[in-house]
């Protein structure tokens, strides 16, 4: 519609100008003594327009001819850019489709024309990692560092992540430690550093780092809290000298109170107390923890304590049985204590009761021990066989 309207306007202007020229052609006079040139106005206007068009066309052709090499170079660079962008897109699609080999091939093809080579190299390194090819992975990382030195921190972070995925925790730890020195307050680096400490079993460093992340940077993720608990459990489970009572007390007092109530930490602490023959303290700690928060793992441990006064523990178990009659762990612990008193029938009765609530390896093992003590090796052997069959399934 616009073209038609434009054509009609031009046509109207041309007709109007033609009619005007017929009625009043006018003239243009050029004088340079001794010569003079007289032209009609319409002819002069047409000639001037044609001249301007000729000059413009000549200039345009000259300019385009002069810039042909630059235009060709721009076309080539744009073509390489489009190919590299398509290669990056294909590579990412292949990664999403778990086609690691094709993803690597796509990402490293046409990389020279890319305006973002970092994405190509890191993607190719990731694809190589998923092919368990650490040598090629490291080559791509080094190439990325060479071509994108301004992104060295990002590249090193990616390298550490890939090394952790490959189980190369010591190498990852070295890189992450260096990154921490560059950016001490970079929280993702500190979190990955904590993961490396956890994998290497460096409990003191892990405990310090997790506490720093929580107190200084307000990071309270479930994963971090679990790592802190694991660190303290590792510290509690570490071998101590015979006279390590003060050391154990110091380790326990350094644990935040909210973590001292965690079953795993309580169990680790009580086992260490038991290894130091501090059975009364272990019993009090377990009793207090179970009264506050019932846990099957802890009540099982309660039966492993060598009692100073077995009657007190039995009374405590009777109280708990009133509230937790279906607790397999409690029934097992109660049976253990009865065994210590030589009351085989009572122990067996409670173990059979525990077996009614579901299969439990500890229950079966204790029942087999009682049957052996009662002079029934055949039935005991049958139970041991059932335990072995269950364990090998």
Q: List, for residues 334-354, the tens digit of each pLDDT value.
A: 999 999 888 999 998 999 899
Using DSSP's 3-state secondary structure scheme, residue 136 falls into helix
Poorest-pLDDT segment among 46-55, 93-102, 252-261: 46-55
- Model confidence at 306, pLDDT cuts 50, 70, 90, reads confident
Helices and strands per DSSP (H, E), number in the chain: 21, 2
pLDDT of residue 187: 92
Could you tell me which residue, 167 or 110, shows the higher pLDDT? Answer: 167
pLDDT of residue 13: 67
CA distance 224 to 214: 8
Poorest-pLDDT segment among 78-92, 143-157, 208-222: 78-92
Poorest-pLDDT segment among 7-16, 145-154, 286-295: 7-16
pTM of whole model > 0.85?
A: no
Residue 262 structure tokens: 């965690």
Dihedral, 98, 101, 102, 108 alpha carbons, nearest 10: 120
DSSP 133: -
Mean pLDDT, to the nearest integer, of 109-115? 79
Nearest to 334 by CA among 348, 229, 323: 348
pLDDT of residue 47: 76
Alpha-carbon 335 to chain mean position: 46
Per cent of the chain over pLDDT 70 is 92
Residue-wise pLDDT tens digits, 61-79: 888 788 778 876 776 777 7
3-state helix, strand, coil in the chain (%, to 5): 80, 5, 20
């Amino acid at each position: 519609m616009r073209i038609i309207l434009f054509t009609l306007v031009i046509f109207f202007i041309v007709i109007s100008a033609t009619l005007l020229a017929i009625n009043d052609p006018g003239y243009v006079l050029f004088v340079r003594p001794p010569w003079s040139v007289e032209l009609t106005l319409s002819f002069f206007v047409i000639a001037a327009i044609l001249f301007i068009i000729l000059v413009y066309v000549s200039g345009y052709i000259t300019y385009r001819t002069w810039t042909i090499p630059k235009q060709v170079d721009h076309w080539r660079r744009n073509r390489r850019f489009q190919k590299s962008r398509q290669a990056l897109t294909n590579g990412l699609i292949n990664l999403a489709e778990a086609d690691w080999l094709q993803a690597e091939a796509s990402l490293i093809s046409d990389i020279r024309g890319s305006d973002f080579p970092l994405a190509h190299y890191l993607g190719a390194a990731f694809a190589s990692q998923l092919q368990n090819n650490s040598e090629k992975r490291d080559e791509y990382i080094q190439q990325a560092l060479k071509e994108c030195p301004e992104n060295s921190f990002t590249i090193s972070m990616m390298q550490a992540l890939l090394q952790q995925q490959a189980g190369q925790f010591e190498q990852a730890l070295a890189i992450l430690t260096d990154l921490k020195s560059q950016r001490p307050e970079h929280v993702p680096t500190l979190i990955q550093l904590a993961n490396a400490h956890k994998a290497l079993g460096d409990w003191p460093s892990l405990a310090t780092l997790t506490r720093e992340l929580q107190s200084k940077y307000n990071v309270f993720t479930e994963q971090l809290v679990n790592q802190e608990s694991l660190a303290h459990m590792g510290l509690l489970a570490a071998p101590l000298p015979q006279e390590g009572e003060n050391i154990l007390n110091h380790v326990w007092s350094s644990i935040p109170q909210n973590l001292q109530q965690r079953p795993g930490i309580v169990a680790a602490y009580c086992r260490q107390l038991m290894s130091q023959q501090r059975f009364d303290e272990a019993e009090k700690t377990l009793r207090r923890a179970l009264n506050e928060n019932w846990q099957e793992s802890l009540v099982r441990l309660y039966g492993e304590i060598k009692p100073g006064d077995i009657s007190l523990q039995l009374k405590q178990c009777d109280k708990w049985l009133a509230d937790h009659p279906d607790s397999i762990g409690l029934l097992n612990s109660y049976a253990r204590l009865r065994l210590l008193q030589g009351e085989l029938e009572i122990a067996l009765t409670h173990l059979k009761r525990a077996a009614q609530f579901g299969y439990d390896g500890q229950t079966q093992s204790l029942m087999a021990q009682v049957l052996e003590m009662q002079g029934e090796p055949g039935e005991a052997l049958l139970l041991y066989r059932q335990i072995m069959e269950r364990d090998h399934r």
